[in-house]
């Protein structure tokens, strides 16, 4: 083979290697998939699923094994949640502990809160057309802005920051009656501030309880 041929072949191989590396998630380039990344990725895949409207799913990951807990509105919702988790790169297996419960099965108090929230939304829409556009965009998925949607939405936003400030974070997001509680570990004060501000800015969130600790995950 001529020197020109060797040079051309080496260049093509270098381009292919670079292309594959850029297409791979950051976690795959540095080693094993992080459990915290998997939690965020799975929730980000669930947030736009219409069949999961009214669900409230907890995703727990340990050494690549995913456990799904919480409620879904139907068997179709259960099947979709499991399928989305199983297809995620880095997931070894999925343990299904989901329960089927009617959407918005929160009793009279929750229904009253829903009515109050809707009334507030209508008033805000009249006062701020920009806010109306944001809310409309959020509703395009067909999922209501309830506790389950808020949880998945926050995780989806966290994932967007995984390669920057939230890298190596292990955050647990709990939502009850639109109040968000953040537990877990972040690597810096900057990451802690980012996690809290992102949660506060999410549609439907009333307030955020910050229990995050700054440290390192194993």
Mean pLDDT of the chain: 79
Q: Look at residue 192 and tell me whether its pLDDT is greater than 60.
A: yes
Check: CB of residue 183 under 8 Å from CB of residue 171: yes
Q: How confident is residue 129, by pLDDT bands cut at 50, 70 and 90?
A: very low
Domain boundaries, the chain: 33-214
Q: How confident is residue 121, by pLDDT bands cut at 50, 70 and 90?
A: low
Q: Look at residue 117 and tell me whether its pLDDT is greater than 70.
A: no
Check: CB of residue 159 under 8 Å from CB of residue 140: no
**Is the pTM value of this prediction over 0.85?**
no
Q: Which pLDDT value is given to residue 202?
A: 97
* DSSP helix, strand, coil percent of the chain (3-state; round to 5): 50, 20, 30
Higher-confidence position of 10 and 86: 86
Check: CB of residue 73 under 8 Å from CB of residue 53: yes
């Amino acid at each position: 083979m001529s020197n020109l041929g060797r040079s051309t072949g080496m260049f093509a191989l270098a381009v292919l290697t670079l292309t594959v590396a850029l297409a791979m998630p950051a976690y795959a380039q540095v080693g094993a998939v992080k459990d915290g990344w998997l939690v965020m990725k799975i929730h980000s895949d669930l947030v736009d699923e219409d069949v999961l409207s009214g669900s409230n799913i907890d995703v727990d990951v340990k050494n690549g094994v995913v456990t799904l807990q919480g409620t879904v509105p139907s068997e179709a919702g259960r099947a979709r949640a499991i399928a989305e988790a199983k297809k995620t790169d880095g997931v070894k297996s999925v343990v299904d502990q989901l329960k089927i419960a009617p959407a918005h099965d929160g009793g009279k108090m929750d229904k009253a809160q829903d009515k109050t929230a809707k009334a507030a939304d209508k008033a805000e829409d009249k006062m701020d057309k920009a806010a109306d556009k944001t809310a409309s965009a959020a509703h395009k998925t067909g999922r209501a802005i309830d506790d389950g949607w808020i949880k998945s939405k926050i995780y989806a936003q966290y994932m967007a920051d995984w390669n920057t400030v939230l890298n190596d974070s292990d955050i647990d997001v709990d939502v009850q009656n639109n109040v968000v509680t953040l537990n877990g570990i972040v690597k810096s004060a900057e990451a802690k501030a980012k996690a809290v501000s992102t949660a506060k800015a999410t549609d439907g969130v009333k307030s955020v309880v910050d229990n995050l600790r700054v440290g390192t995950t194993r």
